[in-house]
Amino acid sequence: MTVPQQLTDRYQLGEILGFGGMSEVHRARDLRLHRDVAIKILRADLARDPNFSQRFRREAKHTAALNHPSIVAVYDTGEAQTPNGKLPFLVMEYVDGITVGKLIQRQGALPPQHALAVIADVCTALEFSHSRGIVHRDIKPANIMITPAGTVKVMDFGIARAMNATTGDRLTATSAVVGTAQYFSPEQARGQEVDARTDVYSLGCVLYEMLTGQALFTGDTPLSVAYQHVREQPVPPSQRRAGLSPDIDAVVLKALAKKPEKRYQSAAEMRADLLRVSRGNAPAASATPAQDTDEVSDTDGPRTLQMPVQSARTGSRRWLIAGAVAAVALLVFAGVFVVGVMNRVQVPDVHGLTQQEALSRLQEQGLSPQLETRPDGSVEAGRVIDTDPATGAAVSSGSEITVNMSTGPEQRRVPDVSRLAYSEAVQTLRDAGFENVRRQPQASPAAELDRVVGTIPAAQQDVATSNEIVILVGSGPSAREVPDVTGQSVQQATQNLDTSGFTTILQADADSVLPAGQVAGTDPPAGASVASDAPVTLKVSRGNQITMPDLRGLFYADAVAQLQALGFTGPLLKGPDIPEAVAGRDQRARVVQQDPAPGTGVNRDGTITVNYGS
Task: Give the C-alpha separation, 196 to 269, whole Å.
Answer: 11
Weakest mean pLDDT among 6-10, 321-325, 452-456: 321-325
Bridging pattern class, strands 6-7 and 11-19? antiparallel
pLDDT given for residue 219 in this prediction: 85
Q: pLDDT-derived band of residue 23, with 50, 70 and 90 as boundaries?
A: confident
Q: Quick one: which of 96, 20, 35 has its CA closest to 371?
A: 20
420-445 pLDDT, tens digit per residue, is 999 999 999 999 989 999 999 988 88
Beta bridge partners of 38: 27, 92
CATH code of 479-541, in short, is 3.30.10.20
Beta bridge partners of 237: none
pLDDT at 239 over 90: yes
How is residue 448 annotated by DSSP?
G
The mean per-residue pLDDT over the stretch 507-532 comes to 93
The CATH fold of domain 344-406: Trypsin Inhibitor V; Chain A (3.30.10)
Answer whether 113-124+137-146+166-338 and 411-474 agree in fold: no
Known binding-site residues for ATP equal: 40
pLDDT given for residue 98 in this prediction: 92
pLDDT at 598 over 60: yes
Q: Identify whether the C-beta of residue 140 lies closer than 8 Å to the C-beta of residue 183.
A: yes
Q: Taking the alpha carbons of 278, 283, 288, 289 in that order, is the dihedral positive or negative? A: negative
pLDDT given for residue 330 in this prediction: 55
Residue bearing the bigger pLDDT, 375 or 318: 375
Is 3.30.10.20 the CATH number for 545-612?
yes
Q: What are the domain boundaries of the chain?
A: 113-124+137-146+166-338, 344-406, 411-474, 479-541, 545-612
Q: pLDDT-derived band of residue 234, with 50, 70 and 90 as boundaries?
A: very high
Alpha-carbon distances of 53 from 27, 80, 114, 296, rounded to whole Å: 21, 13, 38, 35
pLDDT given for residue 595 in this prediction: 95
Q: Which parts of 515-570 are beta strand (E)?
A: 519-523, 529-531, 535-541, 545-547
Q: Taking the alpha carbons of 384, 390, 392, 396 in that order, is the dihedral positive or negative? A: negative
Residue bearing the bigger pLDDT, 169 or 191: 191
Is 1.10.510.10 the CATH number for 113-124+137-146+166-338?
yes
Q: Identify whether the C-beta of residue 278 lies closer than 8 Å to the C-beta of residue 117.
A: yes
Residues marked as catalytic: 138
Query: How would you write 7-31 as a 3-class SS string?
Result: ECCCEEEEEEEEECCCEEEEEEEEC
Alpha-carbon distances of 362 from 84, 164, 358, rounded to whole Å: 21, 36, 6
Burial class (CB in 10 A: 0-12, 13-18, 19+), 511: middle
Q: Rounded to the nearest 5°, which phi and psi values hold at 527?
A: 95, -15
The CATH number corresponding to 411-474 among 3.30.10.20, 3.40.390.10, 3.40.50.620, 3.40.50.2300 equals 3.30.10.20
pLDDT given for residue 273 in this prediction: 96
296-345 pLDDT, tens digit per residue, is 444 444 444 333 333 344 455 555 555 555 555 555 555 544 444 455 78
Q: Which residues neighbour 568 within 8 Å (Cβ) at sequence distance 6 or greater?
A: 546, 602, 604, 606, 608
Task: Give the C-alpha separation, 145 to 13, whole Å.
Answer: 22
